[in-house]
Structure 1
Amino acid sequence: MNNFIERHLADQYRPLLFPQDFSEQATFGFECNDGWADLIEASLRLIRQRTERRALDVKVTQVKEKLGQLRIYHRGGDESIGAAFDIAELVSGCVCELCGKPGEVINLEGWLLARCGKHRERQHSHQIEPHNADEDFLASYTQAVDLILSFFGAGAVLWVQQERTVFGGRRPYEMLATEEGCRAIFTLLKRLEHGVGV
């Protein structure tokens, strides 16, 4: 991950990433490409909100790519924190790790990689644009996953993995890869929460 994104995440989410006595100049060392930056930031934002509301102590210990998906390791918290990171892992397989556009996990010469159609080749020739955080995605993802965790509790990860007729047979974790999908999930759960039929 490039240094600008690393510094931004370290500054914004320092209490989640570093012990109190760490230098202000410390970098965390995210071991993945820039395409997952928004997904990582949305997950950290969600965890920060949940830890503040519930007075939980959580430390993220490692963030890396493994077998074509994002892995976020942590200690502390409760089952909702682990579920949030499990959901992010599932979503990452639907996001190109290079550019952040919708994609899928593919096998390239024996390597599992999350790629969009434009970046499917091992030695792709397309220029990757500099990353600018998508605030609309960050906000919609955080809201949707927070509501999923609150609504389904221990069953949240299972719920996002199963095909849903109301979403045309799509799995919710696939939809969480885009702002529009996040909003559709949030709207559905809000309607259910208020007893409005689908």
Structure 2
Amino acid sequence: MYNKELFEKYPYAFSHYAWTGEVFYEESTNEPYSLDEDIPKGWSKLFWMCMEEIREPLEKAGLTNTFYFTQVKEKYGELCLYNNGATEEVLDIISKYEFLSGFICDRCGKPADYQTRGWIENICKKCYKAQYKDKEEPRYLIELDLTPIKLRYMDDRFVEMKQDFTDTWEKYLEKIK
């Protein structure tokens, strides 16, 4: 949804056509994504934290008015922020937030306890019980070790990330209190 104050601060966060770069100033049925509809409610704070963190590197690179997102959505249980390209620093920041979304309940924004099977959904115990009260809890507990970051996949593989996400995770937890 268009918000003049947010648009002036983060013009790159708002919907643009990939081919023309045209910005949507109001709600439209033709827009590539909607901040209200395509970003799960639980990831909203995380999204705006990302927009704030990429602002300075975009300004430094002179990309504030040319960088934009072409699509924003949930995919495989993570926030996906497709864009028209930027500096490595900006792309690393975006990757960090996409990764962290996998550990946040996409409904309420609290740290996720489970990852469901089939349609992958990261969900806290409270939201899981509200949605799936008649089903038993999923077997796969999400594990997050911030030093270094380790991601445990359902087939018990672990992947280590080089970035240190501790500060960002702690800032996020402060915001949701």
- When the two structures are superposed, what TM-score results if normalisation uses the length of structure 2? 0.61
Would you say the 8 A contact 2:104–2:123 is kept in 1? yes
Distance 2:166 2:76 in 1: 18
Distance 1:40 1:180 in 2: 11
Unaligned runs of 5+ in 2: 134-146, 152-162
Give how far 1:162 is off.
5.2
Give how far 1:121 is off.
3.8
The question of 1:111 aligning with 2:99 is answered: no
The answer to which structure has the higher helix fraction is 1
One of 80, 88, 102 as aligned partner of 2:97: 88
Deviations 1:1-44 (A, max 9, x none): xxxxx444963423443557545324641423101001101111
Give structure 1 regions of 4+ aligned residues with deviation exceeding 6 angstroms. none
Aligned match of 2:169: 177
Kindly provide the amino acid, as one letter, of the partner of residue 176 in structure 1: T
Would you say the 8 A contact 2:61–2:87 is kept in 1? no
Q: How many residues align?
A: 136
Would you say the 8 A contact 2:50–2:93 is kept in 1? yes
Distance 1:34 1:21 in 2: 26
Question: Which shifted more, 89-98 or 8-17?
Answer: 8-17
Deviations 1:97-147 (A, max 9, x none): 111111145124x2211111211247257xxxxxxxxxxxxxxxxxxxxxx
**Equivalent residue of 2:107, what SS?**
coil
What are the equivalent positions in structure 2 for 1:103-142 lying under 5 Å apart? 103-104=112-113, 106-108=115-117, 110-121=118-129, 123=131
Give how far 1:79 is off.
1.0
Give how far 1:89 is off.
1.2
One of 88, 98, 111 as aligned partner of 2:107: 98
Give how far 1:160 is off.
5.8
Identity of aligned residues (%): 24
One of 34, 43, 49 as aligned partner of 2:56: 49
**Equivalent residue of 1:177, what SS?**
helix
Unaligned runs of 5+ in 1: 1-5, 126-158, 164-170, 183-198
- Distance 1:53-1:38 versus aligned 2 partners, 3 A rule: same
Q: CA RMSD in A?
A: 3.3
Kindly provide the amino acid, as one letter, of the partner of residue 116 in structure 1: C
Distance 2:27 2:148 in 1: 35
- When the two structures are superposed, what TM-score results if normalisation uses the length of structure 1? 0.56
